[in-house]
Structure 1
Amino acid sequence: MSDILTELYDKDGNLLGALLTAEAWASVRDQVMAALGVSQAPEIEEKPEPLSDWELLTQYWDFPYPVDMDVACENCGNQTANWSEDDPRRFRLTSANLAGLVAFQCANCRAKVVKKHFKDKISTECTPYREEKITTKEGRY
């Protein structure tokens, strides 16, 4: 059809829907939502912390330094010596993997704190939370 719009049909030739590019959707999203009577995007449920991934990382920990539990947010100054023992949590675990990449969300400012565990050091990055997302780069599953 075009590079912007692709119509989708079933095997009998019935129209199932249409697929827009990210740029096209970003430009017509508000009008389509209003025409369909959808006032806002559905709430995205917060996924549970991936504690099993964290446990797997600690079980196979092979770095020359001990497991580090401290987390600090450079954005708002929030910090803890042990994120897993805080009640309520100051930092929420959002991901962890065997490669040593661990990510948290700050409970105060919602910034993303990423800890990268390397052979000889730990690198920490803090990215401030943005309310306005770049819709063409947003992925939802």
Structure 2
Amino acid sequence: MSDQINELFDKDGNLIGALLTAEAWSSVRDQVMNALGVRETPTVEEKPEPLADWEMLTQYWDFPYPVDMDVACEHCGSKTENWSEDEPRLFRLSSANLAGLVAFKCMNCRAKVVKKHFKDEIVTECTPYLEEKITSKEGRY
């Protein structure tokens, strides 16, 4: 048919679908979605907080300072003395590991707050949430 479109047929010769190249799909996607009445509603399911990872980190805590529970967002000013006791959560634990790397999501502005626990100090980094992602850093499967 075309270099852009391959029609797909069943064993009896009935048309069952079409395969478009990425270039063809990107040029007709909106019209096809509208014609079929498909509305995109991105539903992002929040993963549960990895509390078991946090518990393991605190069990094996060998830093010369006590476990720190405070979290602060540089971007919106949100802060808490103990993130685990807030209801509703001001910061949501997104990852923790035995190396002392702990990450949180600010529930106010969606910034990412990372706490790096080193032997002698804690370094905190706060990265703002970006609605528009950098496409060169996106995984494609």
Q: Using structure 2 for the length normalisation, give the TM-score.
A: 0.74
- SS, match of residue 84 in structure 2: helix
Question: AA paired with 1:32?
Answer: R
Aligned-pair CA distance for 1:136: 3.4
Q: Which runs of 5 or more residues in structure 2 are unaligned?
A: 1-18
Q: Does 1:40 align with 2:40?
A: yes
Residues 35-55 of structure 1: CA distance to partner in whole angstroms, max 9, x if unpaired? Answer: 355432642211010001100
Query: Larger radius of gyration, structure 1 or 2?
Result: 2
- SS, match of residue 46 in structure 2: coil
- Counterpart position of 2:13: none
Query: Alignment RMSD, CA only?
Result: 3.1
Question: AA paired with 2:73?
Answer: C
- Counterpart position of 1:133: 133
Distance 1:31 1:124, change over 3 A: farther
- Counterpart position of 2:114: 114
**4+ runs of 1 displaced by more than 4 Å?**
17-20
Q: Using structure 1 for the length normalisation, give the TM-score.
A: 0.74
- Any residues of structure 2 matched to 1:33-112 within 5 Å, and which? 34-35=31-32, 37=36, 38-40=38-40, 42-112=42-112
Question: AA paired with 2:131?
Answer: E
Q: In 1, Cα distance between the equivalents of 2:65 and 2:21?
A: 50
- SS, match of residue 136 in structure 1: helix
Q: In 1, Cα distance between the equivalents of 2:94 and 2:110?
A: 11
Residues 45-100 of structure 1: CA distance to partner in whole angstroms, max 9, x if unpaired? Answer: 11010001100100111111100000000001100000000111110000001110
Question: AA paired with 2:132?
Answer: E
Distance 1:31 1:133, change over 3 A: farther
Q: In 1, Cα distance between the equivalents of 2:120 and 2:21?
A: 47
Instruction: Report the number of matched residues.
Output: 124
